[in-house]
Amino acid sequence: MEFADWVAKVHQQPCHIVYTDYRPTPLQHYIFPSGSEGLYLVVDEKGKFREDSFQKALNALVPAADGDRKKENAKWQKGLVLGKAAEESDIFKMVKMIIQRQYDPVILFNFSKRECEFLAMQMAKMDLNGDIEKDNIEKIFWCAMDMLSDDDKKLPQVSNMLPLLKRGIGVHHSGLLPILKEVIEIIFQEGLIKCLFATETFSIGLNMPAKTVVFTNVQKFDGDKFRWITSGEYIQMSGRVGRRGIDDRGVCILMIDEKMEPSTAKSMVKGAADGLNRILHFSDSLLSELPSCKRGNPDLLQKQFLSSLDLNQPAQIEPQDQYNFEVEQTMTEIQKGSIIESDVNENIDPSHKSSSKLSSDNLHPIVMGCTFCLMFVMASKADPKCPECKKTLMIINSV
């Protein structure tokens, strides 16, 4: 609602919200403990959290006594340790089960680009496409790759990607060439990729739904430490599940390799989405750069600044700023003729009446001119052709 109010204020026209308070395609959330032989339903399609099933999933994990070898065993189970057969890894078993039960296409989310590529290579022995699908993939792939130079076509990520794509397996992360990511998205939309290993970026800004989503990790590194993924991150990625009008339900599978509290799991799979917060802040450096902007307009700047304020929450605005905003708003209405100036002057503090004498024409040289702001910026920002800049720089250098 707040975002819609902001859009309506900026464009000065109504903004209507169209929403549904239910999910058209219900989801089922499963947990796959590392090294186990089956899935455990923890949240059914009605949104009920099954704590008994969750405890059974935790009991199927590696015993706590093997804590020193726990991480190494988990990596081996996922197929991240070299020298082990790919068919023995949990990832291979998971994808094989999904294909057999016709739960494809499936997106497997991993928070590491290197692991995405390595896990995809573990699936190299699995062939999910027929001859006709392989021919279509090869045509689409080389039609896009013709835009590259001959040297770029020989890059490892280009030459190694086509054999995987022809088998119905894909990789998508920010480290790929833009043209390569685009062709993978096209092939996935055509239903020719049955198993896609992707990072979190694939769930943002792309309409690429699937029938099943697998989380190979439920912890991510935030630059300081490993933490559980938030409910907002989980909702964003699990939102890829369930194609409206095609699937009767969507399946989310979490692969866990260490114990977690029921409250943590419940807040993750049943939590609320992240709030929408404004992050636009007018700093001194931003304002000091305005004189160098050719399209700088104080009236437009004032309009953008006031529209960026969340007027529905005046408590977050400083009292002085709120007062200045009310004065500026009143002066605008006076200029439009909707309010008589004599009715307002009685309610304005005498110490602030001087500000009401500043019109847009008087503010323009103050805001956009170099006389008042040049002393706060670097000398290299000055205009060498401006006589006012030269005069001000002489004064600054003489001090």
CB-CB neighbours of 57 under 10 Å: 25
Residue 206 is predicted with a pLDDT of 75
Average pLDDT over residues 22-30: 88
| Contacts for 144 with CB less than 8 Å, ≥ 6 apart | 179, 182, 183, 186
26: DSSP letter:
-
Q: Report percent pLDDT > 70 for the chain.
A: 63
Residue 316 is predicted with a pLDDT of 41
Q: CA 168 to CA 243: how far, in whole Å? A: 19
β-pair partners for 346: none
Residue 352 is predicted with a pLDDT of 46
For the cut 60, the answer to whether the pLDDT of residue 8 exceeds it is yes
Which segment of 2-16, 150-164, 205-219, 231-245 scores lowest on mean pLDDT? Answer: 2-16
**Confidence class for position 67, pLDDT limits 50, 70, 90:** very low
Cα-Cα end-to-end distance for the chain: 54
Range among 125-139, 267-281, 308-322, 352-366 with highest mean pLDDT value: 125-139
Distances (CA, A) of 194 to 39, 78, 168, 343: 21, 19, 5, 71
Mean pLDDT, the chain, rounded, equals 75
Q: In terms of C-beta distances under 8 Å and separation of at least 24 residues, what long-range contacts does 349-354 make, across chains too?
A: 352/323, 352/327
Residue 70 is predicted with a pLDDT of 45
For the cut 50, the answer to whether the pLDDT of residue 263 exceeds it is yes
CA–chain centroid gap for 380, Å, is: 37
Residue 298 is predicted with a pLDDT of 61
Average pLDDT over residues 323-337: 55
One-letter amino acid identity for 210?
A
Q: CA 170 to CA 157: how far, in whole Å? A: 12
**How does DSSP assign 143-211, residue by residue?**
HHHTTS-HHHHTSHHHHTHHHHHHTTEEEE-TTS-HHHHHHHHHHHHTT--SEEEE-GGGGSS----BS
**Which tokens hold the place of 114?**
């290197």
Q: CA 356 to CA 336: how far, in whole Å? A: 15
Q: What are phi and psi of 141, to 5 degrees?
A: -65, -50
**Confidence class for position 60, pLDDT limits 50, 70, 90:** confident
Which segment of 3-17, 153-167, 248-262, 294-308 scores lowest on mean pLDDT? Answer: 294-308
CB distance 229 to 268 below 8 Å: yes
* Closest to 24 measured CA to CA, from 248, 204, 212: 248
| Contacts for 289 with CB less than 8 Å, ≥ 6 apart | 377, 381
β-pair partners for 32: 255
Q: CA 312 to CA 348: how far, in whole Å? A: 23
Average pLDDT over residues 286-313: 59
For domain 2-128+194-270, the CATH architecture is 3-Layer(aba) Sandwich (3.40)
Which segment of 173-182, 358-367, 388-397 scores lowest on mean pLDDT? Answer: 358-367
**Confidence class for position 317, pLDDT limits 50, 70, 90:** very low
Angle at 302 between CA 301 and CA 304, to 5 degrees: 65
For the cut 80, the answer to whether the pLDDT of residue 137 exceeds it is yes
* Closest to 107 measured CA to CA, from 33, 195, 31: 195
**Confidence class for position 305, pLDDT limits 50, 70, 90:** low
If you search the block for the tokens 């499963």, which residue do you land on?
Answer: 30
Q: CA 130 to CA 167: how far, in whole Å? A: 8
Average pLDDT over residues 179-198: 93
CB distance 213 to 105 below 8 Å: no
pTM for this entry: 0.66
| Contacts for 138 with CB less than 8 Å, ≥ 6 apart | 162, 166
For the chain, the structural domain boundaries read 2-128+194-270, 284-368
Residue 239 is predicted with a pLDDT of 86
Residue 139 is predicted with a pLDDT of 93
Q: Report percent pLDDT > 90 for the chain.
A: 24
Average pLDDT over residues 43-50: 88
**Which tokens hold the place of 330?**
């009143």
Range among 5-19, 61-75, 168-182, 199-213 with highest mean pLDDT value: 168-182
Which segment of 9-18, 181-190, 333-342 scores lowest on mean pLDDT? Answer: 333-342
pLDDT, tens only, 78-135: 555 444 455 668 888 889 999 999 998 999 999 999 999 999 988 888 899 999 999 9
